[in-house]
Amino acid sequence: AYSLTTRGQRLGGDNFRDLALVLWREIRGVSDASVRRGLVGRIGAALAAECRDRIAGTTPAERLHSLSEILGERDIHCSVENGLLPVLVNYSCPYPDLAEQDRGICAVERHMLQDLMGADVRLTDCRLDGGTCCRFQVAGPATGNPTAGDDAHGT
């Protein structure tokens, strides 16, 4: 009898897009805003955990440079602007289909960055607002305070 190897099965079953869209829609459907914010924070922390061991550097700027290399390996085109406050500039959205549905996915990305930087991060420019890129600015030591737009509704 013919059967696929485990590797063969995985080659045919690599469609996470549909699952991600459905899961995000369900998160958006949670009526309690504090529960939604909690989920967004936990998802951001889980994404940070996926690459935390590969992040090098002690300063936020060094850590952003390290992260930009990791994101580049995943075909997420970005750069880092060094200034008074370092900025991660994303030229391509890691989750374009989700972002088109709901900008709350930007809060997930912000939480991931905040977790990895150990500092507050603000989304200062967004492609969804007509910008050419998304800009995440490291603002200062993490306070953990929720910000407007930190739930799956983007409110």
Q: What is the pLDDT of residue 1?
A: 77
Residue type, 150: D
| Share above pLDDT 90 across residues of the chain, in percent, rounded to a whole number | 63
Q: Measuring CA to CA, how many Å separate 46 from each of 62, 108, 132? A: 21, 10, 28
pLDDT tens digit sequence for 56-111: 999 999 999 999 999 999 999 999 999 889 999 999 989 888 888 888 899 999 99
Report how far apart the first and last C-alpha atoms of the chain are (Å, whole number).
Answer: 55
45: left (phi over 0), alpha (psi -120 to 50) or beta: alpha
Residue 47 clears pLDDT 90, i.e. is over it? yes
In DSSP terms, which residues pair with 120 in a beta bridge? Answer: 140
- How far apart CA 122 and CA 140 sit, in angstroms, is 10
Question: Model confidence at 4, in pLDDT bands (50, 70, 90)?
Answer: confident
Residue 18 clears pLDDT 90, i.e. is over it? no
The CATH topology of domain 6-141 is: H-NOX domain (3.90.1520)
As a whole number, the mean pLDDT across the chain is 87
More confident residue, 142 or 47: 47
Question: Model confidence at 120, in pLDDT bands (50, 70, 90)?
Answer: very high
